[in-house]
Amino acid sequence: MLQPLLHDLVSTVMAPAAALSDADGQIRPAGVQGLFCADRRVLSQARLLVDGREPEAVGHAPVEAGRDRFVSLARWLGDRSADPTVRLDRLRELSPYGMREHLEIISTASATVTATVTLELACDFAEIEAVKGGNSATPITPTAPAPGELVWSSGPTHVTVTSAPAAAEVEAGGGRLRWQVSLPPRGRVRLSWDVAVSDSATVVVPPSAPLEWSTPRVTADDRRINRLMERSLEDLRSLRLAEPAEPGDTFLGAGAPWFLTLFGRDSIWAARMLLPLGTRLAAGTLRVLARRQGSRLDPHTGEAPGKIMHELRRSAFDLAGQDRRLPAAYYGTIDATLLWISLLHDAWRWGLPASEVAPLLPNLEAALGWLADHADPDGDGFIEYIDTDGRGLANQGWKDSGDSVRFHDGRLAEPPIALVEVQGYAHQAALHGAALLDAFDRPGAARWREYAGALAERFRAAFWVEGPQGGFPALALDRDKRPVNSLTSNIGHLLGTGLLSKEESAQIAALLAAPDMAEGFGLRTMSSREGGFSPLSYHCGSVWPHDTAIVIAGLAREGFDEQAATLAEGLLAAAESFGYRLPELYAGDARDHMSRTVAYPAACRPQAWSAAAAVTIAQAALGVYPDVPAGHVELRPLAGAPLGALTVGGLRVAGTEIEASVDHDGAATLTGLPEGLRPR
């Protein structure tokens, strides 16, 4: 079965619930359409009929997080004129445990209009991974225990639909609610129905804490920045999740509909990218993952002492289209542990109080223990992965599709795989861990600084290869320690990790801004010169906004302002194409081939780290780099203000809201710093 397409569906989300419908608001029994809650489809159909006919759609628009409005017409009703006189406004409102829809039928006709309104409902309780694989389940028959009510049940999950006013007719066998309506001249009628879901087996719940980040006030010459920031923060608000036992610790679900749960790497990166708006999300994410930190060796789950988990689901599940089955709590990730260390460090630099850092220091030491004892199974000095169980992910970096690690000629590399960016993460994690150990009077910092220095030398000797445009780090080392010599976006993640010399960083910056990598709408995941390149592949030529944003941040931090601005402009242009809701990924076509972005048809929207890219663009343009423990904030905006004048109020440093500005000439100002911090 083929994976169902998403690109033309409307996604309304309030985690852990997500509704996917056609653009007319109809949820049809096809593909991935439906209302999902905590990885189960709790409605597979919600189709509205007027006099047995589907209204004709004329438009839809987002309202705010978890709310969308759909407008349609019943042109066979009302006056016989060129203008339509009977309009239907369908407002969809999601809650974490269900959905409410309000239908307003509005008549501007000169005579009374009567009609029969029917809502056709179905529920199949299909698991999200089955749906992703192109499968479905047989709808079950509901009961009708009360007037205007339908109920479906399966194991721990119960779905109740109630109507207001109560539907005059209820057909339990067909799952239908029916109203008879009469609209006087220029009158209106309002109907509504509620979907309530109870599920005792869910592993994620809505958080009990208030919103963890500030709402920035953005004034920009380039209005795309304002629009992207506004829409992205609404999407991020809809992706907030917690665990049932600790609802006060919030993390971000990776993306809807496939990954609306805890993902170590994704949740960490999203929290890290949102640090300019506060440290509370980072703190919650760190604590959630620390509670699930590995304590034993288990080849089936990928668990190891000190390791940070990859993914949490309600039960074991099969990967779509693959002969692989992942356990409910899966640890098959090579980078989440390293990124957890750096998130703790960066949150501390942005002002996470010592009282919140200190309880996590044993987890830090355990994570460093994983780096020392389990991250390099063959002892060659590099961090590598292999799925020893044979049922987990074949590739365990952020490019985790089975065909993502390719040589220049397109051949697949054989595991164990040592990814290039992971060596940079390890180098940075060692230095970040050392800084935290020193600051909190814990032993071992010197060991980790020595480790970082030795890793840099090994890396320089083993990874650098020559290409038509000069030297660059290979994508990976394969099982025979051969450099996988394709040029990819992965090398951009090395910027800012300290692994590279200034000359090496300059060479990487030049390569990443060249046309074969950056002639589209952001940074391609693979150069168009490579044998494995395809603009609509998942990881070999597409553009991922979070990937581009990470590289923008590294370029800006290291002073490659022109290249950072080039990539930021690409993301802003892509955002405009997608109505400012950046998807998980999109096609890597050149702009002279396609003047607008082409959707990757199975990409999640919204996606947490894609939405967080908006904050990264603003952060890079403003150049605000705090070190609260050291008592200063560096201010180094992109030279010459390539994105125009920009002011962002509501940034948070050490829990205090500040304002940063850059004018048309690139001059920067910073106001509102808390006492004890000085600009530098």
CA 673, chain centre distance (Å): 31
To the nearest whole percent, how much of the chain has pLDDT over 70?
A: 99
329's enclosing H/E stretch is strand 329-330
317 pLDDT above the threshold of 80: no
Q: Which two tokens stand for residue 212?
A: 């963890």
pLDDT digits (tens, 9 = 90+) for 339-352: 999 999 999 999 99
Task: State the Cα–Cα distance between residues 400 and 271, nearest whole angstrom.
Answer: 21
Instruction: Read off the amino acid at residue 291.
Output: R
Task: State the Cα–Cα distance between residues 459 and 481, nearest whole angstrom.
Answer: 12
The pLDDT confidence band at residue 2, using thresholds 50, 70 and 90, is confident
Our CA angle for 391, 311, 463, nearest 5°, is: 75
Q: CA of 439: how far to CAs of 136, 353, 451, 629, in Å?
A: 54, 13, 19, 9
Task: Please report the pLDDT score of residue 61 as a whole number.
Answer: 96
The answer to whether the CB of 231 falls within 8 A of the CB of 13 is no
SS (H, E, C) 159-214: EEEEEECCCCEEECCCCEEEEEEEECCCCEEEEEEEEEEEECCCCCECCCCCCCCC
The pLDDT confidence band at residue 239, using thresholds 50, 70 and 90, is very high
659 pLDDT above the threshold of 70: yes
Task: State the Cα–Cα distance between residues 470 and 630, nearest whole angstrom.
Answer: 39
pLDDT digits (tens, 9 = 90+) for 661-678: 999 999 999 999 999 999
Instruction: Read off the amino acid at residue 512.
Output: L
Task: State the Cα–Cα distance between residues 438 and 443, nearest whole angstrom.
Answer: 7
To the nearest whole percent, how much of the chain has pLDDT over 90?
A: 94
Q: Which two tokens stand for residue 3?
A: 């994976």
Task: State the Cα–Cα distance between residues 440 and 140, nearest whole angstrom.
Answer: 58
Task: State the Cα–Cα distance between residues 311 and 261, nearest whole angstrom.
Answer: 8
Task: State the Cα–Cα distance between residues 48 and 70, nearest whole angstrom.
Answer: 12
Task: State the Cα–Cα distance between residues 142 and 149, nearest whole angstrom.
Answer: 10
The answer to whether the CB of 169 falls within 8 A of the CB of 177 is yes
**Is cis: bond before 55, omega within 30 of 0?**
no
Q: Which residues contact 245 (CB under 8 A, 6 or more apart)?
A: none
For residue 599, what is the DSSP state? Answer: B
Task: Please report the pLDDT score of residue 140 as a whole number.
Answer: 94
Task: Outline which parts of the chain fall under CATH 2.70.98.40.
Answer: 10-199
The pLDDT confidence band at residue 135, using thresholds 50, 70 and 90, is confident
Residue with token string 């423990």? 629
Task: Please report the pLDDT score of residue 318 as a whole number.
Answer: 75
496 pLDDT above the threshold of 80: yes
- How many CB atoms are located within 10 Å of the residue 5 CB? 14
The pLDDT confidence band at residue 3, using thresholds 50, 70 and 90, is confident
- How many CB atoms are located within 10 Å of the residue 238 CB? 27
Q: What is the mean pLDDT of residues 105-119?
A: 97
Task: Please report the pLDDT score of residue 492 as a whole number.
Answer: 98
Task: State the Cα–Cα distance between residues 670 and 475, nearest whole angstrom.
Answer: 39
The answer to whether the CB of 439 falls within 8 A of the CB of 627 is no
CA 670, chain centre distance (Å): 30
* pLDDT, averaged across the chain: 96
Q: What is the mean pLDDT of residues 357-380?
A: 97
Task: State the Cα–Cα distance between residues 680 and 445, nearest whole angstrom.
Answer: 27
Q: CA of 378: how far to CAs of 315, 317, 366, 434, in Å?
A: 32, 30, 20, 25
Q: Which two tokens stand for residue 53?
A: 């006919």
Task: State the Cα–Cα distance between residues 64 and 23, nearest whole angstrom.
Answer: 17
Most distant pair of Cα atoms in the chain: their distance: 85
For residue 494, what is the DSSP state? Answer: G
Task: State the Cα–Cα distance between residues 267 and 357, nearest whole angstrom.
Answer: 18
pLDDT digits (tens, 9 = 90+) for 623-648: 999 999 999 999 999 999 999 999 99
The pLDDT confidence band at residue 315, using thresholds 50, 70 and 90, is confident
Beta strands in 615-662 (DSSP E): 624-627, 632-635, 646-653, 656-662
Q: What is the pTM of this model?
A: 0.97
Q: What is the mean pLDDT of residues 256-279?
A: 97
The answer to whether the CB of 382 falls within 8 A of the CB of 423 is yes
Q: What is the mean pLDDT of residues 409-419?
A: 97
The answer to whether the CB of 49 falls within 8 A of the CB of 128 is no
The answer to whether the CB of 459 falls within 8 A of the CB of 499 is yes
Burial string for 256-283 (b: 16+ CB within 10 Å, else e) reads: bbbbbbbbbbbbbbbbbbbbbbbbbbbb
Task: State the Cα–Cα distance between residues 325 and 327, nearest whole angstrom.
Answer: 7
Task: Please report the pLDDT score of residue 323 as a whole number.
Answer: 66
The pLDDT confidence band at residue 429, using thresholds 50, 70 and 90, is very high
Q: Which two tokens stand for residue 43?
A: 């409605």
The pLDDT confidence band at residue 369, using thresholds 50, 70 and 90, is very high
CA 360, chain centre distance (Å): 25
116's enclosing H/E stretch is strand 113-122
What three-state secondary structure class fits 384?
A: coil
320 pLDDT above the threshold of 70: no
The pLDDT confidence band at residue 389, using thresholds 50, 70 and 90, is confident
379 pLDDT above the threshold of 80: yes
294 pLDDT above the threshold of 80: yes
Q: What is the mean pLDDT of residues 288-316?
A: 96
The answer to whether the CB of 320 falls within 8 A of the CB of 132 is yes
Q: What is the mean pLDDT of residues 123-130?
A: 94
The pLDDT confidence band at residue 316, using thresholds 50, 70 and 90, is confident
Task: Please report the pLDDT score of residue 160 as a whole number.
Answer: 98
**Is cis: bond before 142, omega within 30 of 0?**
no
What three-state secondary structure class fits 626?
A: strand
Q: Which residues contact 672 (CB under 8 A, 6 or more apart)?
A: 656, 657, 658, 659
The answer to whether the CB of 117 falls within 8 A of the CB of 163 is no
For residue 102, what is the DSSP state? Answer: E
Task: Please report the pLDDT score of residue 322 as a whole number.
Answer: 64
Task: Please report the pLDDT score of residue 321 as a whole number.
Answer: 60
> Which CATH number does 10-199 carry?
2.70.98.40
Closest CA to 445 of 370, 383, 374, 364: 364
The answer to whether the CB of 309 falls within 8 A of the CB of 292 is yes
657 pLDDT above the threshold of 90: yes
pLDDT digits (tens, 9 = 90+) for 31-90: 999 999 999 999 999 999 999 999 999 999 999 999 999 999 999 999 999 999 999 999
